[in-house]
Amino acid sequence: MIDETTPPAADDLRADTAAAPEVADHDATAKLREELETARNEKLYVQAEMQNLRRRTEKELADARSYATTGFARDMLSIADNLARALTAIPAELRSDEKLKPLVTGIEMTAKELDSVFQRNGVTRIEAMGQPLDPNRHQAIMELDAGEGQQPGTVVSEMQTGWMIKDRLLRPAMVGVAKAGEGAKVDVQA
């Protein structure tokens, strides 16, 4: 029996086999380009993450250096308060007594040295008297009648000194504020 199909011509056979690798090469190239683009994007993402991590770490280290003494400074505030109380408790006649003068001078010098150490370490007093109430720095304990020339909401009494460490609140000042007169309304937040 004779095969009625004729074998393909040699030229046709070469064209078919040559087209198949070109299609395969094109698909492989497209796939490799896609993988390259994905790898490039992942690399950029990792670089951005590393840069963000580096910035965060640098900020945390700077904050740790700046505020490392916060706990210690907060503990030292009670000593500063006690020295201030001791100085205010000494009557004027005892300050001039020659026997007690060295004691008073010693307490004064200790208080000044403590203030100096606080200053060197960025710990500062919050000025409260005569200032408008700032809920971020003051804690209102009570309202008092406003005196002559005092605006409602103004600090008129300071029960405890407030302190900052650099730009952060270490302890709020405990204050009394002038209250509004009849008919006036002031929003005082404690």
* Per-domain boundaries in the chain: 12-68, 69-121, 124-181
* Digitized pLDDT (tens) for each residue of the chain, 190 residues in all: 555 555 555 555 555 555 556 667 888 899 999 999 999 999 999 999 999 999 999 999 988 887 888 889 999 999 999 999 999 999 988 888 899 889 999 999 999 999 999 999 999 999 999 899 999 999 999 998 877 777 888 999 999 999 999 889 999 999 999 987 654 444 544 4
- Rounded to whole angstroms, the Cα distance separating 93 from 100 reads 10
**3-class state of residue 144 by DSSP:** strand
The per-residue b/e assignment along 99-118, b for 16 or more CB within 10 angstroms, e otherwise, is: eeeeebeebeeebeebbeeb
- Give the per-residue pLDDT at 188: 47
- Give the per-residue pLDDT at 7: 57
Strands (E) in 36-147, as ranges, are: 123-126, 138-145
- Give the per-residue pLDDT at 28: 87
- Give the per-residue pLDDT at 150: 78
Q: Which fold is adopted by the domain 124-181? A: Nucleotide Exchange Factor Grpe; Chain A, domain 2 (2.30.22)
- Rounded to whole angstroms, the Cα distance separating 89 from 76 reads 20
- Largest interatomic CA distance in the chain: 143
- Give the per-residue pLDDT at 3: 54
| β-bridge mates for residue 163, sequence order | 125, 171
> What is the Cβ-side half-sphere exposure of residue 144, based on CA atoms within 13 angstroms?
16
- Give the per-residue pLDDT at 185: 47
DSSP 179: E
- Give the per-residue pLDDT at 186: 46
